[in-house]
Amino acid sequence: MEIPWWVLVLACTAVVGALGYRRVDVGVRVLAVLLVLEFGTVLVFDIGAFAHAPEGVSAAPLTWGAATDGSLGVALCCVFAAYMGFESAALYSEECRDPRRTVARATYIAVGLIGVFYAATAWAMVSGAGTGRATRVAAEQGPQMMFSLSDSSLGTVFSDFAQFFLITSLLAALLSFHNAVARYVRSLGREGVLPRGLGVLHRRHSSPHRGSLLQTAVTAAVIGVFALAGRDPVADVFTWLTNLGALGVILLLFATSASVVAYFARRPELGEPLWHRLIAPVLSGAALAVIFWLALTNFSVQLGVSSDNPLRWILPGLILVAAGVGVGWGAWLRVGRPEIYAGVGEGEERRVVGG
């Protein structure tokens, strides 16, 4: 019996929602177990691919020419999608004993480890397929490429386990994103930007349970719309929303870089080092602006549609609409509720705890 895709997705949504409703340490335990299993699976795959490389292991995939060949904007957008959520360590600053040191250290370690691991695995896939024909194999097999390579080098049993752990890795990613969104909603509710009821913590779990419930409801509604429209779960739901999310993250990081410069320019008394308050955010902002433009002009390629398809502009337009709503709401708060506007970012000083 074939199970409709939306049934499985809603079941995963229910599991993620239940875990997100509880305290963060429940989610962390689940994520830790899944992370170890997934890391070990990919590591074994890398070793097998390098050991059974039909053309040998070549450094050609690591050259600058290989990195810039093809649609660079598409590649960069995919990179940002792969890193999506790396900044979420800051969301847990209120749950750390030393937020300034712990958050920075966790972020640097995460980015470094992910970068090295992604690069090694991509290199292993190219080597396993054969450096000279890896592009053709990837075009023919798509997401199945990794499993077909593991079939030939490590056997079908390993491939079956790898596919199972792919599902658990997606579940872990969903749980991580869910926790992040719930904490964003809680922070905005606590400070009055959103209804204050959303800023209330659960009395027993001390979790942002209302933000979690809201996130679960929104997810179920979006899945319901795609299911009723009869859209494909991979070609439409995954491709559209992942690329849209990546483009939005690039724009948000650019805005963050500009905000850092503006914030410390108005507060010289804080004595922040020049690198932190000016040089690093300016460099990152310039790079992000270029990446955003490249991703936007190649958006039709990412969606898999023709260049004249209206979707290539409709979907990015949703980001601009959301940004416009946010700017408008902030302007209204500044004029109509200045005490709320002035208190944005005060953190635990405005904490609301309740049931």
Q: Give dist(CA 173, CA 31) in Å, integer.
A: 8
Buried/exposed code over 40-53 (b: 16+ C-beta within 10 A; e: otherwise): ebbebbbebbbeeb
User: In this predicted structure, what is the pLDDT of residue 46?
Assistant: 93
Q: Give dist(CA 165, CA 38) in Å, integer.
A: 6
The answer to whether the beta carbons of residues 303 and 311 sit under 8 Å apart is: yes
Cβ neighbors of 277 (< 8 A, separation 6 or more) are 260, 261, 264, 265
User: In this predicted structure, what is the pLDDT of residue 27?
Assistant: 58
Cβ neighbors of 291 (< 8 A, separation 6 or more) are 73, 76, 77, 80, 250
**pTM for this model (two decimals):** 0.76
Q: Please list the ranges in the chain whose pLDDT falls under 70.
A: 1, 23-28, 31, 91-92, 94-96, 345-355
Q: Give dist(CA 347, CA 95) in Å, integer.
A: 12
Residue 60 carries which DSSP code?
Answer: G
- Which pair of structure tokens corresponds to residue 83? 């890193």
Q: Give dist(CA 265, CA 272) in Å, integer.
A: 10
User: In this predicted structure, what is the pLDDT of residue 29?
Assistant: 72
User: In this predicted structure, what is the pLDDT of residue 350?
Assistant: 45
Q: Give dist(CA 317, CA 323) in Å, integer.
A: 10
The answer to whether the beta carbons of residues 98 and 105 sit under 8 Å apart is: no
